[in-house]
Structures are given as structure tokens and as C-alpha cells.
Amino acid sequence: MELEQHIIKIAEELERNSENAQRQRYLKSYLEELLKYQKNNPDALEVPTSLELYCQLNPSEPECRIYDD
């Protein structure tokens, strides 16, 4: 699925899912992360993994460090 389509799908679900507050908070947070990712990676077409999103927002975390051998 393309990133743009995924963002639209999440936004639509956020609008429809007004009864479940926990799901709404999750979708809102996820949508914000996706939009930040899209802004920082304008050429990206694929939906990023959870780790890619996390590392985009937290590059200094141990999980995100890349070591050269």
C-alpha cells in the first residue's frame, strides 16, 4: 500500500471511530508520525515500519544506531 493511501485510510478511520477514545488516541498519534515521516521523506512511497517511524523521531536511541564493522 502506498504511503499516501495509508494516510488517507487512517484519517478516514479516525473520523469514523469516534466512540472508542483509546483507538482514537492511537490513530491520531500514528497519523501524526506518518505525516512527519512523509514530510521528512518526501520521496517515500511505501508505508514505513514501526521501527522506521520510531527511529525517525528518536535517532539517538540505541535501537536506531547503525554501527560500521
Whole-Å CA distances, 57 to 14, 21, 40, 66? 22, 24, 10, 15
Contact 29, 10 (CB under 8 A): no
pLDDT-derived band at 6 (thresholds 50, 70, 90) equals: very high
Say if residue 35's pLDDT is above 90.
Answer: yes
**Domain spans, the chain:** 3-64
3-state secondary structure of 59: coil
- Mean per-residue pLDDT, 18-44: 90
Grid cell of 30 as nine digits: 500514528
